[in-house]
Chain A
């Protein structure tokens, strides 16, 4: 069975400080990994993905994520947080295959960046 864990419901960070939003997964095989962000009253927006290769992937708005196979983690990071980064962040996995991909989401982490 696929499962994605985001152990923190809420992360608070001061503006300008680095941020980390944690994600671990339990999925058979080598899944594809994604981060999505949700702003109030909006749908999910794609931030970045890990397919293969370099463990550090870069995405939109200065975000990056580090894939760690041994720890089955895919933590989202940003060197310097902005107030506008405040939103709900979802980690997701997809089985590695051709065709339609069903995303399995974590429970989400609400990031609040304090001015």
Chain B
């Protein structure tokens, strides 16, 4: 069964540095998402992406965040100047359909640790 893959599995970065988290969604999927999960808390929506543009973003997704689909396979999340509170597990997800009842497929996540 096709999977969403995320790299790296763990990223350690100094506060103030830029970080790029990478994802390869399932190949025939059209909708892409980023979520984050701070340790011990719930999974929170960050951003959705379709047709090479952001569909929707949450309040968390401020100007420090950006997403890109640089080629036909990768989907990246960039944090420009990381803060301590950005430490979390970041999940990429992809979905096939044009309706919000379609399940999303999640990657195993990237654990981001900001020092």
A binds B: yes
Tell which of B13-21, B42-50, B70-78, B80-88 binds the partner. Answer: B42-50
**Given A51-B101, A94-B100, A96-B100, are A101 and B106 neighbors across the interface (CB < 8 Å)?**
no
Q: Does B109 contact A (CB under 8 A)?
A: yes
What size tier do the contact residues of chain B reach? 20 to 34
**Given A43-B91, A90-B42, A90-B43, are A98 and B105 neighbors across the interface (CB < 8 Å)?**
no
Residues of A within 8 A of B4 (CB): 43
- The 8 Å CB contact of A32, one of B98, B101, B107, is B101
What size tier do the contact residues of chain A reach? 20 to 34
Q: Does A22 contact B (CB under 8 A)?
A: no
Contact A105 B103 (CB under 8 A): no
Q: Which of B's residues lie within 8 Å of A, judged by CB? A: 4, 6, 31, 33, 35, 41-45, 48-50, 55-56, 58, 91, 93, 95, 98-109
Q: Which of A's residues lie within 8 Å of B, judged by CB? A: 32, 34, 36, 41-46, 49, 51, 90, 92, 94-108
- Given A96-B100, A101-B101, A102-B58, 4 more contacts at CB 8 Å? A99-B100, A103-B45, A105-B43, A106-B42
